[in-house]
Amino acid sequence: FAIAYVSIQFATRIQFLILAVVALSLVSVFLASFPLAGRVGLTVTPVLWGSFGQRPFWATFAVFFPAVTGIMAGISLSGNLRDPRRSIPLGTMGAIGVTMAIYLALAIWLARAATSDELLNTSTIMVDKAFVGWFVLAGMLGATFSSALGSLVAAPRVMHALAVYRIVPYSRFFGQATAKGEPRPAMFATAVTGFVALLIALAGGGLDQVAEIITMFFLITYAMLNLVVLFEQTLSMVSFRPTFNIPRIVPFIGMSGCLFVMFLINPTFSLVASVLVLGVYGYLVRRNLQTLPSDVRSGLFTSLAEWAVKRSSQMPSANERTWKPMVLVPVSSTGELTGSYRFLWAMTSPQGGVQTLGIYPPGEMAPLKDLDLMTQAFLNDGIYAQATLLEESDFVDGVRAATQVLRRTFFRPNVLFLPLRPDSDLAQLQQLVDKTAAYNMGIVLLARHPVIELGREQFINVWVSNQGPDWKLDLRHSNLDLAILLAYQLAQNWRGQINLCMAVGDAATETRAKAYLIELKTMARMPGNTQVLVWQANFEAALALAPRADLSSFGLPRNPDLLFCQRIVSLVDGSCVFIRDSGDESALA
């Protein structure tokens, strides 16, 4: 710890000294292979295919595996390397090659130097058989010392990096470093953690038991590295240009092998380690860390979306079954969107979306400066949202141009939302309604009561026109599909109640009207608390007889009279919404 505390440069110099001692011990081992200085050399006939008596193979593998993970130490020191892009791959691959050669050579040497019984019962066999035994002892101590020193140097820097990005608790404290870049607080924290873990291991089942747990996390790390490489290769992104190309099957085998071996070693530890890793990932996702402009996840989901769009475009259209409200909201100021926020949220949550279109005359964008903030508010509430700004002196032409463009996109808007206020420009509003009819978009005109607004956001009256004389349940010709679907959306998000309302002229018609509305409630799978209300009265009288609602819904004909709509608002004495189908939705689907 004292060496690591001084500086990483001092620790690196000590590592070179240790490397010389380890090299000398290996020379001493391999010199014993020859008949020198009265020695007989390697005379034991090796057992080519042995058996695992005391412990199974995978338990033995788990104990051995952490011994070879030091090859990844350079990654933890990437911030201290002059050229990490070049040094880490070369160092890692070089370490893998050298250690593989040494381990294979030692395995052959041990098989020729001692019998199986000697190997099982003598833990100092290499010291006993080496040319100079104390050289090997010094090498073993040096290797252990080197591993500990490497951990004491690397671990604090990992913790310091996590603290810099505010990932670990007390990040402000652990993110501190000296003028030379030495992370002193993180160094003390990791040293104490390692010491406590060592005491627990010694008090428990020994270091071999701890090795199994450590192996799990190493294997998960390697599995995730292979998974990331596999994703990057599969996505075929231009940004992924490795200088060392490998076939796609290699990371797949690496990932699968790591996960497979984990559960072979110890299923319980593997499950616990996996849950911990997923828990850490979930924690990091909730933190919304902004460390990089993008990562492999965004590329993955983008590629999946592109693949899905291509596949979907080749299949027969299924708009009725997959319909969800994608609302286009043209505004000339952010305040217009703010005033309609709660209604738009209730109208689109949880699977719909809001596409805001800010239209402004040349040089007059100031009223729309906070439009992105409102879009982010929708996103924070779990609703897909986008904002587009369009410089256009004529508001109607801007909406028309944007609609023509957006209707060719995959996630095209299918509902045009417009406010109907007492001071609205009815001529402009009429143009928007008329032009939208040609684009197969539904229309929703919201007329909010100036005092009551949306009230308690609970009761919704859906007015259905007289369907006689056939009384056939064909919503497409009744302009009811969108009204029913949006009423259902609002009732779900408000936890409210829907009333199906109708005005008829006589008792015989009233009976058929009730039967029609009951069938509509059943076939449209409306909530169980939906009420059916029919009055023998003219339309305006029925409006006065209807129970007070927080929102009343009416059909909007193909050639609407907006003055008549404003008159209905005054008769209802509450907020109203006027709806026209697009033709792509179906309440019976």
The span from the CA of 562 to the CA of 555, in Å, is 12
pLDDT attached to residue 63: 66
Q: At 344, is the pLDDT very low, low, confident or very high (cuts 50, 70, 90)?
A: very high
The amino acid at 290: Q
Comparison of pLDDT for 42 and 488, the residue scoring more: 488
Maximum mean pLDDT: which of 94-98, 203-207, 544-548: 544-548
**Confidence class of residue 553 from pLDDT cuts 50, 70 and 90?**
very high
Q: Order of strands, edge to edge, in the sheet holding 497-504?
A: 384-391, 353-360, 326-331, 415-419, 442-447, 576-580, 551-555, 459-463, 497-504, 531-536
User: For 566-589, how does the pLDDT look when each residue is reduced to its tens digit (9 = 90+)?
Assistant: 888 888 988 999 999 888 888 887
Phi, psi of 39 (to 5 degrees): -90, 155
Determine the Cα angle at 473 with ends 469 and 474, to 5°: 100
What percent of the chain has pLDDT above 90? 21
pLDDT at 245 over 90: no
What band does 502 get if pLDDT is binned at 50, 70 and 90? very high
Query: Mean pLDDT highest for which of 77-91, 217-231, 336-350, 407-421?
Result: 336-350
Instruction: Indicate the SS3 state at residue 453.
Output: strand
Least confident of 278-292, 446-460, 486-500: 278-292
Q: Which element (helix H / strand E) includes 4?
A: helix 2-6
Least confident of 136-140, 151-155, 524-528: 151-155
Pick from 39-48, 228-237, 394-403, 539-548 the range whose average pLDDT is largest: 539-548
| Structural element, H or E, at residue 316 | none
pLDDT at 137: 86
Closest CA to 453 of 296, 330, 577: 577
Which of 124-128, 134-138, 533-537 is most confident? 533-537
In the three-class reduction of DSSP (H, G, I as helix; E, B as strand; rest coil), residue 128 is classed as helix
Confidence band for 438, pLDDT divided at 50, 70 and 90 = confident
For residue 20, what are the CA distances in angstroms to 13, 27, 131?
Answer: 11, 11, 17
Between CA 413 and CA 430 the distance in angstroms is 20
Nearest to 91 by CA among 133, 349, 82, 164: 82
pLDDT of residue 322: 78
Q: Are 459 and 499 in contact (CB under 8 A)?
A: yes
Q: Is the pLDDT of residue 529 over 60?
A: yes
Does the pLDDT of residue 506 top 60, yes or no?
Answer: yes
Distance CA 236, CA 231 (A): 9
Instruction: Tell me what pLDDT residue 262 has.
Output: 84
Residue 588: CB atoms within 10 A of its CB come to 15
Domain with CATH 3.40.50.620 in the chain: 448-589
Of the candidate CATH numbers 3.40.50.300, 3.90.550.10, 3.40.50.620, 3.40.50.970, the domain formed by 448-589 belongs to 3.40.50.620
Element (H, E) at 254: helix 249-265
Confidence at residue 79, expressed as pLDDT on a 0 to 100 scale: 57
Q: Which residue has the higher pLDDT, 538 or 411?
A: 538
Q: What is the pLDDT of residues 71-94, one digit of tens each?
A: 555 555 555 667 777 777 787 788
The answer to whether 44 and 113 are in contact (CB under 8 A) is yes
Q: How far apart are the first and last CA of the chain?
A: 70
172-183: buried (b, 16+ CB within 10 Å) or exposed (e) per residue? Answer: eebbebeeeebb
H runs (alpha helix) in 114-248: 116-121, 125-129, 133-164, 171-174, 184-203, 207-235
- Label residue 104 by pLDDT band (50, 70, 90): confident
In this predicted model, which residue has the larger pLDDT, 407 or 519? 519
Give residue 73's pLDDT.
58
Is the link from the previous residue into 422 a cis peptide, with omega within 30 of 0? Answer: no
Compute CA distances 329 → 95, 243, 382, 494, 522, whole Å: 60, 48, 18, 21, 32
CA count, 13 A, side-chain hemisphere, 20:
5
| Cα dihedral 196→201→202→203 (10° resolution) | 90
Q: Is the pLDDT of residue 403 over 80?
A: yes
pTM above 0.85, yes or no: no
Q: How confident is the model at residue 428 (pLDDT cuts 50, 70, 90)?
A: confident
Cβ count near 57 (within 10 Å): 11
Distance CA 383, CA 304 (A): 20
Closest by CA to 409, choosing from 384, 377, 435, 383, is: 384
Whole-number average pLDDT of the chain: 82
pLDDT for position 433: 83
**pLDDT above 70: residue 185:** yes
Structure-token match 């679907």, residue found: 485
What is the band of 225 on the pLDDT scale with cuts at 50, 70, 90?
confident
In Å, what is the CA distance from 201 to each residue of 150, 181, 207, 220, 269?
20, 32, 6, 21, 15
Q: Which region holds residue 547: left if phi is over 0, alpha if psi is between -120 and 50, else beta?
A: beta
**Residue 445 is encoded by which pair of tokens?**
């005109």
Within 10 A of 326 (CB to CB), how many other CB atoms are there?
21
Cα 449 to Cα 184, 400, 429, 573, 577: the distances in Å are 64, 28, 18, 7, 11
Q: How many CA atoms lie within 13 A of 265 on its CB side?
A: 30
Share of the chain above pLDDT 70, in %: 85
Q: Is the pLDDT of residue 444 over 60?
A: yes
**Does residue 1 surpass a pLDDT of 70?**
no
